[in-house]
Each structure stands twice: as C-alpha cells, then as structure tokens.
Structure 1
C-alpha cells in the first residue's frame, strides 16, 4: 500500500512539471515588407514560463532562397524571465516576390520544449537604385586648368551587372559615357577630366550621372560646381624715342572673365616733369624717393583695356636754350670791345739814384671786321714824369695837358681804323727826379663811338720797381 502511494505521488509530480513547462513567443520592431533583394529585421521575444532555467535554441533550416541570422541563437533564460534575439532575414532569390511564411525552430536543450515561430514577410518588386552612384567634384573649378570629376559606383544588388552604361553630363559644356561591369558588392571609382572652352560662362553648373542597364536607369546622382571667374591682367609697355622726344605707352589688358581693380604708376624726375604730358589725368600725384609719382586707379572689366600715353618733349627747351645762347652771344658781341689797347714799357733808364726815364709803347688794334671811326687814345703820366716835343715817334699827341693834381694827359686822335688794322704809338717819358722804389703807370684808354654810345677800352696798369721789374696786369 505504501509503494502504491509513492508511485501515485511520483506520477503526479511528473505530470505537474510537464504541465508547467513552456515558453511564450512574441516579436517587436517588426519589418514585414522588403524590396526585392532586400532584408528585414525584427526582435524575437522569448519568455520562460517554466519553474527552472532553460537554454533555448533558435534556428532556421537551410534554404537557397533565404538566409536568416539570429543573434544570439542561444538564449539562457532564468525561470519566469524574458530574453530577446535579433533576427535578420535576407532574400537571396530575385524571384522571391510575394508573401512568404518563414518558420523559425525554437527548442530547449533537453528538447522538452519544441515550438515553431512563423514570421510573415512580403517581398515587393525592387523600385530604388540598384547601383549606388555618388558624384565627387570640387566646389570651384578654374576654366583655364579644368578639374577632376569622380563617380563612385557600388552594386547593392545580389547579382552581377554587365555592360552598364555610365553617362556623365553637365548641361551643354560636358558629356561623356562609359561601359563597365559590376559584380555583387563591388565598389569602383571612375574619373573624368573636365575641360572648358574659352567662352564658357562663369556660373554654377549642374552635373548629372546616370547608370543604365539597357534602357532602365538603375542608379543616378546629381551635384553642381562653380565655374569660377578669373582675372588675367597683362601689362605692356612700348617706347618710341627720337633725339628730343620720347613716347611711352603703358597698357593693361584683362584677358580673364572677372573685373579687377588695377593701377598704373609712372615716376618722373623733378626736372622731367615740366616737359611731360599724359593722355589721361592722373588720379594721384605724390612725391617719391627719386621724383614725382603719377598714379592711375581703375577697374578693368573682362576684355577691357586701359592705356596711358606719356609724351616727353625736349624740343621747346632745346630751341629755348638755342635762343638763349644766341641772345647771350649777341649781347656779348654787342658788349665786346672792338678796339683794344695794350700798354707796355720797352725800356727803362736809370741812374745811381733810381729810375730816370722810360720808353712806353701803346698798341691799338681794331679786332672787328668793320672800320671804326673817331678813335681817340688817352694816356696819363704820373706827377714828376713828363715828355718833350722830341719824345714822340711818328704819332704826336693832339693834346698834352696837365691835370689839376699834376698828372700829364696825352691825347691822340687816331681817326679811323679799318677792320684788323693796328696802330703803334711810342714815346719817351722822363722823370724830373730819380724815382726810388715803385712807380705805377696808369692805364691807357682808347675810346670810340658805337651809335650814340661812347665805348672805352683800357689797358692794364704797369708797375715799375727800382730793380726794373716789369709787370703787366
């Protein structure tokens, strides 16, 4: 009877344990629709209703049409606890279109618990890009040097592509196409050289890339860049010179596409500035280290030319200089004494006490080419020195006169001298007393008329010493 009771108790406990064993399955974050060749994910929630800890395995039977990843595929769940597993589903067949029931197998390690979880998924025809295209290009491009355009292509489908047509266009300034193959998951980078004509307008341009499989566009992208304006200013200087003139042309030409603030500077010396003129009035004139700086400021538009002509003329100053020279020569000639007179002592008589007499020579000459009339010669002898009627050579003075201070004035009226003609006057002067020391003989004077003016020319003074030293001044 006791054995029977124990057997009944054991059977009761086993049945109670079996009745209480079990798990509850649910899902969250479900994604029940995917596109052809796409994937879906959801979280599988497993609740252990058993009274003890359970190791639960989650698997999916092999299929050539589907791949299912479960992470983690083994859940160790304490009693009355919940664990989650991330399930990823991939469609491997492009013909997988429609609604499908995917069955996950869930069982405990001891296989006491076995369950199937059905996940319903709908596969829609693929409508997006099958090739991911991405344009890579600079923001600004200088049209003079061009630029590099790159297209990154990635096959995001589960099939290989052959003879794909890649077309890159940028409005009416650039167009190029290529053909290539892309394997599953392959990423490639295609490079294109952008070049532009000289007439390309600086502005923003749109670039489009299309990837075609037959007539179907399976990838595309669009971007833009700025065809930058630029300035290309060239300065040119040309010079033309003659004996007395110089012409300089300074020009600046903007061969670029953008206007630019420019300036032209030219420096002249302080002397040269008086003889230089400009085709344009300078905007600024200031003193520099070596002279005067002239500056023109301007905005040079695309294709614009700014020109400054600088003309330096020395002809006027040359002729002015010639005229001044001629005037000076004329005045000099007018002031030049045409009749000259020189005076010298030919011999000196002396005795024991000093100078007692001398012979004086006056030389008169007409240096011009024209005759000169009314020529008068005057010589002056100092006090104590005189002459006698026998003291003169061929020319005797017309007048001999004592001055108020005792000097003797001798005057000869020569009359006329032809051009280049000379006259010599000589006389002997005697001293009343012997002169000791220094004796000064005054200058002789020749006078004549030029028009209404009386022109006088003087000889140098003579100094006689007791030592009979002659000195002409």
Structure 2
C-alpha cells in the first residue's frame, strides 16, 4: 500500500511539470491475466512548430514488465498523434493492482507517466478471455489407398486458462470418411498431440484432396485451423482370388472369382498351374492358352477389371472321356478274346502260271491254325472253286487231301476236309492246284474258305480272307 501511495505522489509531481507537449493515456485493456497483454491509447498533442521524437521506455522500477509496442513516437507539430502502448507481465509479477512507470523522452524534455494494470488470475476476470492456442497438423503428402492415413494434430495452450470444451474437427469435401470430431481437454500452458488414424477406401480414385483441421470451442469455430493437401496415387495390387472346388467321378470343377482392389482400371495376366497330361483334359471359361515358364506349365488368360469389379473363371479338368476310351478298349479287347473264333483260316495263292496272256494255273493254300488254349476236334473245312476253273487231282505230297469233292451248279466245285483234332497253337496247311478252262485276263477272285467248329456245344463257322490274282 505504501508503494502505491509513493507511485501516486510521483505521478502527481510529474504531471505538474510544464511541457510543450501534452501526453494523455487512456486504458484499452488494463485488467489482464498472466500471458496476456495490457493495452493503452497514448495521445500526444505537440504545440510546437517542429516534429518532436519521443523514445518510450520503462525505467528500472518497472523491470518486472516488458514493453511490447514500438519504442519511438513521432509527434507532428500542432496536431495530435495517437500511439498504442502495449505491456506484458513477466512471471515474477504478483496478482494485484500495479502502477507501472512509463517514460517518454525527447531531445529537450522527459515525461514520466504512471499507468495502472490489474493482474488477476484467469478465473477472476469477468467474462474470461479469448483462448490463445496454436494448432499444427502433420500428415503425409501422398499415399496409396491401401496404406493407413495418420494425421497428428498438435495443440499448445499459450495462457493459463483451462480449456475443457475444445474439440478437433477434421473434414474433407471429397473424402467423407475423414470427417471426424474429437473432444480434447487442454490445461494451462499445456501441450497435447492428438493422432487420427484412418483406413482409406482401397478404391479411392487417384487425385489431390484438400483436408481441413479446425479447433472448435463449445462446438463453435474460433478461427484456428490449418489446411493440408493429400495426393492419392494409383494402386494396382494383384487381384484377390477366391476358389471354390467341386469334385466328382474323374472330374474337378474350380470356380475362381477374381476381384480388383485397384483404384483404376487394371489388366492382369492370370496363371493357373497345370500338368503335361492334365492340360489335355482341361478347358476353361473364358478361353485360355497353355504357356511354359521356368520349366512349369500354366493355363494363362488376361482379365481387365474396373475398380471393385469381380469376374469368375471356371476351370474344368475331366478324365471321363479318357476313362470311356480305355473302358471301351478293354471291353472291346475282352469281347474280342471272348467271342473270337478259336481257329483262323488264311487263304493265299502262289505258283501262278500265265499262258497266252491269261492265267492258266494257280496254287491255292489254306493255312489253318488253332489260336485257342484248347484242342479243337471235329473241324470241317470247306472251299469253293468257281465254274471257270477245275481242280487238278495231282495233290502235293504231304498235304491233307479233301474228304469230299462235290459239284454244284451255281457254286462250282465244293471241296471239304475233315480235321479230327487240332492241338493248341497247331497249324495245318492245305494246298491244291487249279487249272482254268480258258485263259483268265484281268482280276481273278477266289471265294472265301469256311471252317466249322463247335463251341460250348454249338456249331459255329469262321471264314478266311478273300484271295485273288491279276494277269
């Protein structure tokens, strides 16, 4: 209190000094909290005919305060000059009413003024005060949609007020997934970092997007914000693949669904492993081709998909046709060996004699063989000679002679042989000679020979080939 009285007496004394200029000081904001600035309007009335320059400074008694405004005033003659005086307290200033000395010194005079500043705690100031908070945002400048986006918002409270009603808003006109509001509390002179993490839409179109970071107080915009730009690049990952397989008898069907995770139209080569044999029995929809890479074989096709588009590929490998072919071959072979004749007859001609440009004599040979694993009994061989030729009676020695020779009006000469038994694998040869009645010119065809045998008590017949000769 004594200090306040002393300041008052000094001020009254200084005001009594007669000068050529009048200096009036009017408070603008003389009730502040720590971290804020006191403001006063200084009006200098220069009655002289020349410009007066005043230097503004704080004397040693006011060392606990800092002069924030310009240190010089230029007072023009015969007019009033205005000047804003701004002071801030250091951390050593007590919470109370202070009389602060301010000096205005020119070349020929020095004027000292006392201004009164009431330093109070933030909660004691009527109506409070505007927050002094800095906001900065850190985030990548570019990315691909498959990456996570991280935005780090940093806050710094530059005064001693406690803010419990703040929130950070992140918004973007073309990236609605980023629209976020996060409540935050910021204590006196505190610093805080709030991180926002987003999973981006993998199909987000490439381009440059604006992102705004704002600070809200009680849900209202208080003009503290920062704008950023984000460049989203093209992204072409491999198509996602989902396979569903169904197997049945000697057949496998694979339904493969490919989905594009690219954010632009993408064309990719699809390769499906296959084997040397399996590729012969595999078909696909859509069509494909077989390629060989690094010693491995693949079914290859090209797919073009829009962002997010899916397409189904069907791969069918079926060995059913191969099975049917093998089955029929086995069945045919079994049937052949089951139903084939146990004895075969092969007919041939040799020793052909030509006379007067035509065929005159022929030797006919019948080769009879038992191809079964059992002995055959009671075989009867029948051969025919057409009416244009006659049988010669000079049979080759060692050959089996016919048991019967018959004449037939239409078939000609009918020859019959009886073979009592033919062992497994045994072969008999029958030969006889023909003499043509006239010289035969051109082709001469011999009818097929027949052999009768019994199988399972039933009589059956087998036939030889049809032999012939040309002149």
Question: With structure 1 as the length reference, what TM-score do the two structures score?
Answer: 0.52
Matching of residue 100 in structure 1 with residue 98 in structure 2: yes
> In the alignment, which residue of structure 1 is the partner of 2:430?
425
- 1:245 to partner: Cα distance: 9.2
Cα pair distance change 1:428/1:110, threshold 3 Å? closer
Partner of 1:442: 446
SS in 2 for 1:121: strand
What is the aligned partner in structure 2 of residue 124 from structure 1? Answer: 120
CA distance in 1, matches of 2:96, 2:357: 165
Match of 1:45 in 2: 43
Q: Distance in 2 between matches of 1:273 and 1:60?
A: 97
Q: What whole-Å deviation, never above 9, does each CA across 1:348-401 have from its counterpart, x for those lacking one?
A: 567788765455443333333341545231221451x32366668652351321
Q: Aligned in 2, Cα 1:440/1:36: closer, same or farther, shift over 3 Å?
A: closer
Give the one of 48, 51, 54 matched to 1:57: 54
Give 1:192's aligned residue.
none
Aligned to 2:190: 219
Pick closer, same or farther for the CA change 1:120–1:410 going to 2, 3 Å: same
- Residue from 375, 379, 385 that aligns with 2:380: 375
Deviations 1:159-198 (A, max 9, x none): xxxxxxxxxxxxxxxxxxxxxxxxxxxxxxxxxxxxxxxx
In the alignment, what sits opposite 2:24?
Answer: 26
Counterpart of 1:400 in structure 2 is 406
Displacement of 1:44: 0.7
Equivalent positions of 1:240-389 (< 5 A) are 272=281, 286-290=285-289, 322-333=326-337, 336-345=340-349, 347=351, 357-370=361-374, 371=376, 373=378, 375-383=380-388, 385-387=389-391
Summarize the alignment of residues 178-189 of structure 1 with structure 2, pairs less than 5 Å apart: none
**Conservation of the 8 A alpha-carbon contact between 1:102 and 1:118:** yes
Check conservation: 2:148, 2:197, Cα contact below 8 A: no
1:282 paired residue number: none
- 1:47/1:454 Cα in 2 relative to 1: closer, same or farther (>3 Å)? same
Deviation of 1:343 (Å): 3.8
**Does the aligned pair in 2 maintain the 1:60–1:105 contact within 8 Å?**
yes
SS in structure 2 at match of 1:30: strand
Distance 1:95 1:109, change over 3 A: closer
Q: 1:121 Cα deviation (Å)?
A: 1.9
* Residues 23 and 44, structure 2, Cα contact 8 Å, conserved in 1: yes
Residues 1:455 and 2:453 aligned together? no
**Contact 1:372–1:448 (CA<8 Å) still a contact in 2?**
no
For 1:85, the equivalent position in structure 2 comes to 83
Post-superposition offset of 1:33: 1.9
Q: 1:449 to 1:117 in 2, by over 3 A?
A: same
- Asked if the contact 2:385–2:391 (Cα under 8 Å) also holds between the matched residues in 1, the reply is no
Q: 1:271 to 1:377 in 2, by over 3 A?
A: same
Query: 1:87 and 1:372, CA in 2 relative to 1: closer, same or farther beyond 3 A?
Result: same
Distance 1:82 1:223, change over 3 A: same
| Alpha-carbon separation, structure 2, partners of 1:40 and 1:353 | 148
- Gaps of at least 5 residues in structure 2 are 1-17, 124-128, 161-179, 203-238, 259-269, 290-298, 304-314
Question: How far has the Cα of 1:443 moved from its partner?
Answer: 3.2
Per the alignment, do residues 292 and 410 of structure 1 end up closer, same or farther by CA in structure 2, a change over 3 Å counting?
farther
Contact 1:206 1:224 in 2 (8 A): no
Residues 68-110 of structure 1: per-residue CA shift (max 9 Å, x gap): 466463433222x211123233434714442233344557755
Who is 1:165 aligned against? none
Q: 1:325 to 1:453 in 2, by over 3 A?
A: farther
Alpha-carbon distance in structure 2 between the residues aligned to 1:328 and 1:96: 117
Does the CA contact (< 8 Å) of 1:361 and 1:427 recur in 2? yes
**Following TM superposition, by how much is the alpha carbon of 1:27 offset from its aligned partner in structure 2, in angstroms?**
3.6
- Contact 1:30-1:43 within 8 A present in 2 as well: yes
Whole-angstrom distance in 2 between the partners of 1:95 and 1:287: 85
Larger of the two Rg values belongs to structure: 1
Mapped contact 1:135–1:151 kept (Cα < 8 A): yes
Q: CA deviation at 1:62?
A: 1.8
Alignment RMSD: 5.8
Give the gaps of 5 or more residues in structure 1. 1-19, 158-203, 212-216, 253-263, 275-284, 296-309, 466-473
* Counterparts of 1:441 and 1:116, CA distance in 2: 154
Distance in 2, matches of 1:109 and 1:396, equals: 168
